[in-house]
Structure 1
Amino acid sequence: MTAILLATPYYPPNLGGVQQYVWNLARQLRKRHDWRVVVVTTAEPGVAYRREVDADGVTVHRLPSLRRISNTPVGTGWTGAIRRIIRDEKIDLVNAHGPVPLFADLARRAAGDVPFVLTYHAGRMRKGSLAPDLVLATYEGMLLASTVRRSQELICASEHVGDDLPKLFSGRQTVIEPGADLDLFRRTPVPPEQRIVFSASLEKATAYKGLADLLHAVARLAPSLPDVHLEVAGSGTAEQDYHELARRLGISERVTFAGYLSGERLAEAYRRARVLCLPTHFDNYPTVIVEAMATGRPIVATRVGAIPMFVSEGGSGLLNEPGDIDALTGSLRTVLTDYDLAARLGATGADFVAANLSWQHQSDRHVAVFQRAMAGGRTVSRTEASRQG
């Protein structure tokens, strides 16, 4: 039985696109391919190391961290700890996930001669201020570049990632987008209720997901749509700030903060809603959009990252520019008041996911890349990679 180590700085119950990507991949490797799956991740600052085995048989090692700098966990002794896990768990392949700096790079160092695959989930990391951007550019040009060179195989979570960092990946990457588990995210008819769902981390560092914009849009919709309601699936350090914003806008009774949802509870939240809205200011390929599309829900989102590559304007959703609350309000109003349009958009999205983005299919593609890495192979070009997909 092949044993794989998935190295990711964050993992559920921490909520986020990369976390859900790794969580889904772990389960498909266990259920569909009968691999032994081990995850190494970090615990919250101040929480001791622990090893656990979840209900699906995935072993999870949570390494202690000292603090977070922006969204990057910082700790000591991680390279040695990962090396011991690789040895003790008899790992055949390491697959590390970026872009959070350092963790994937330490996993590559710990892997030694064990085959290593890097999966990268975002384009260039920039904060919009000189000092942080200089640090991130230096990281990408030096430490990350070294990790890329020493990887047997490279996976990018969308075409956007490779297009944004062409010199880094040099056409070696295989593109494998996030998928949806079609057994879990089952397609159902669009409900008549004027209900919006938002699903994302509510950490202060992920304010870019646009929940504040969405709350302002709901406040603008409320006078003319008395039944409009927003369900927020997520938790984090900024949650109370959003509660306070809803109160100031006078829409507290129109917003349900459901907390962290996963699995069937998250699928039920999608199915309760008329539309999923993610007005993110920058992003790569949000998994929640794919999952909501799989359930047959139309999407209202923004033209950032890879979103326009899989949410077709007027086909499976409506797209706006980030930060344009007037346009966001108009798109939501359209979907919430035109049931036939919502049903058509939802059906188009569900058909697209079923044909192209099931996690069952995407896990098969991962296994092909992993087996190539273990056999010593290496991708040659994006064109060849797309043919293999």
Structure 2
Amino acid sequence: MDATHPQTGHPIRVAMVARAVFPLHGYGGIERHVYHLTKYLTQLGVVVTLYVQSLPPNATPGDLRPHAIETLRYDYTSPILPPNGVIGRQINFPIYSWRIGRRVARHVLHSNFDVVHTQGLCAFGYAAARHRDPRLQTTPFVANPHGMEEFRTSDRIKWLAYAPFRFLYAYGHRQADRAIATDSCTKDDLPRYLGVDPARVVVIPSAIDVAECLSQVRSELRTALRFRLGLTSGNPILLSVGRLEPNKGFDVLIAALARLRDELPPNWRWLLVGSGSARTALEQQIREAGIAEHTVLVGRLSDEELHSLYEEIDLFVHPTRYEGSSLVTLEAMIHRRPVVASAIGGIPDKVFPGRNGLLVKPGDVDDLTAQLRAALAARAQWSEWGAESERIVRSTFDWPVVAQQTLALYHELLAGNHTSHPTRSG
């Protein structure tokens, strides 16, 4: 499908509205999502104007080449409050969203864009402008809410603190012509948490760039990591990746490995990549569980180091208590690794029991122990499971595939199917 507007014949012009984008502002999942979506839509011929917060000094866009980059101030609370702390974020982000939404609306009224596509809370500002001015209703509005961690947190204080944020988040996405669910198994979350009309929900997966991931593997890094992490004699080698925070469930995995300690081969290894506030508590639990000699808390790794490390491990374990789409699971899968992961968020759309891994009840030590035991018993199938992991990613979760699905959605809306559409899978 080409990027030609079905009615005017000119290239489709999209306002991509976000707070931050890789590599200009950071390395998080949403930043990378905006980067890859912009990159691959541009390659398809879509004219993308990227709206983001002010650029840091000496920022370089790498191979990010949108038609234009429009920026706006985000931080209004420093040095009094951290700009992305619980309170600072709830002040800064709504103001930013409101102001950038009004700016985009002015350009839409001047017929500069054919589609407005927002990321996260940026939906709020444009939705408010669209509600006030009926002329904006004729331009398709697509909103992507991403992981919605504020709706899933088990921390009551954070839950209460984020109440205004959740209200604005829900309001913005209810006004969109289409709200994107990043996995089929989480599409009901948008009506449940945000109040979005189910007929306006469309499933388009979050993705990884397969070629980019595999190109970052370095043979010299693989060798260095083997010696640095003591992997030369490890068998099997288990890997987990994520922020060291309670919601990632690494404490559950430690408890399960402690139970399996006497059943595992004498030289097994578990590598935990990431940093966060729970590191000290996890270190203490590892010592008390008697698995310290088998465990390495690796800390943060560069992209090249991490993708090289995926090539050195045998099994990827992701014991998260709650999750969005889980890009680290996809990363492990493209490196042909079998996966044991929690049946939460978008993971059941990626891990299929007996095909490329096993699923676990989130937060359940008994079930994680049982599923790890089952995975170890099926070790002869790990190569087959890994091949299936790769096939799943290449067919469904590679950015060139997902960009085409996004372009198809734009065509659908520009053809006049604005107001409602049956929920469909990406």
Same fold (TM > 0.5): yes
Distance 1:75 1:51 in 2: 27
Do 1:5 and 1:38's aligned partners in 2 also have CA atoms closer than 8 Å? yes
Distance 2:291 2:76 in 1: 38
Decide whether aligned partners of structure 1 residues 258 and 92 sit closer, same or farther in structure 2, where only a CA change above 3 A counts: farther
List alignment gaps of at least 5 residues for structure 2. Answer: 1-10, 218-230
After TM superposition, the structure 1 stretch with the greater mean CA deviation from structure 2, 13-22 or 131-140, is: 131-140
After TM superposition, the structure 1 stretch with the greater mean CA deviation from structure 2, 113-122 or 312-321, is: 113-122
Shift of 1:279: 0.9
- Equivalent pairs, count: 371
Secondary structure of 1:347's match? helix
Paired AA for residue 119 in structure 2: H
Distance 1:277 1:301 in 2: 6
Determine what percentage of the aligned residue pairs are the same residue: 27
After superposition, the C-alpha distances for 1:334-380 in whole angstroms (9 at most, x for unaligned) are 43464322112212222222222222101111122245556664263
TM-score (norm 1): 0.76
Show the counterpart of 1:154: 179
Show the counterpart of 1:125: 151
Show the counterpart of 1:211: 250
Secondary structure of 1:353's match? helix
Distance 2:343 2:198 in 1: 26
Secondary structure of 1:328's match? helix
Decide whether aligned partners of structure 1 residues 326 and 226 sit closer, same or farther in structure 2, where only a CA change above 3 A counts: farther
Distance 1:161 1:91 in 2: 30
TM-score (norm 2): 0.71
Distance 1:291 1:264 in 2: 12
- Once superposed, what is the RMSD of the aligned Cα atoms? 4.0
Alignment of 1:281-296 (within 5 A): 281-296=321-336
Distance 1:237 1:254 in 2: 22
Show the counterpart of 2:276: 236
Show the counterpart of 2:385: 345
Do 1:162 and 1:169's aligned partners in 2 also have CA atoms closer than 8 Å? no
After superposition, the C-alpha distances for 1:57-86 in whole angstroms (9 at most, x for unaligned) are 256968326444559823444246535875
After TM superposition, the structure 1 stretch with the greater mean CA deviation from structure 2, 77-86 or 212-221, is: 77-86
Q: Does 1:365 align with 2:405?
A: yes
Show the counterpart of 2:5: none
Show the counterpart of 1:53: 60
Distance 2:74 2:242 in 1: 24
After superposition, the C-alpha distances for 1:247-285 in whole angstroms (9 at most, x for unaligned) are 444444433334444644332232222111111112243
Distance 1:30 1:245 in 2: 48
Do 1:284 and 1:306's aligned partners in 2 also have CA atoms closer than 8 Å? yes
Show the counterpart of 1:29: 41
Distance 1:175 1:157 in 2: 6
Distance 1:242 1:91 in 2: 50
Decide whether aligned partners of structure 1 residues 72 and 199 sit closer, same or farther in structure 2, where only a CA change above 3 A counts: farther
Decide whether aligned partners of structure 1 residues 27 and 133 sit closer, same or farther in structure 2, where only a CA change above 3 A counts: same
Paired AA for residue 249 in structure 2: G
Distance 2:154 2:50 in 1: 36
Q: Does 1:184 align with 2:212?
A: yes
Show the counterpart of 2:396: 356
Secondary structure of 2:395's match? helix
Decide whether aligned partners of structure 1 residues 92 and 285 sit closer, same or farther in structure 2, where only a CA change above 3 A counts: same
Do 1:278 and 1:301's aligned partners in 2 also have CA atoms closer than 8 Å? yes
Do 1:8 and 1:104's aligned partners in 2 also have CA atoms closer than 8 Å? no
Show the counterpart of 1:225: 265
After TM superposition, the structure 1 stretch with the greater mean CA deviation from structure 2, 162-171 or 254-263, is: 254-263
Secondary structure of 1:322's match? coil
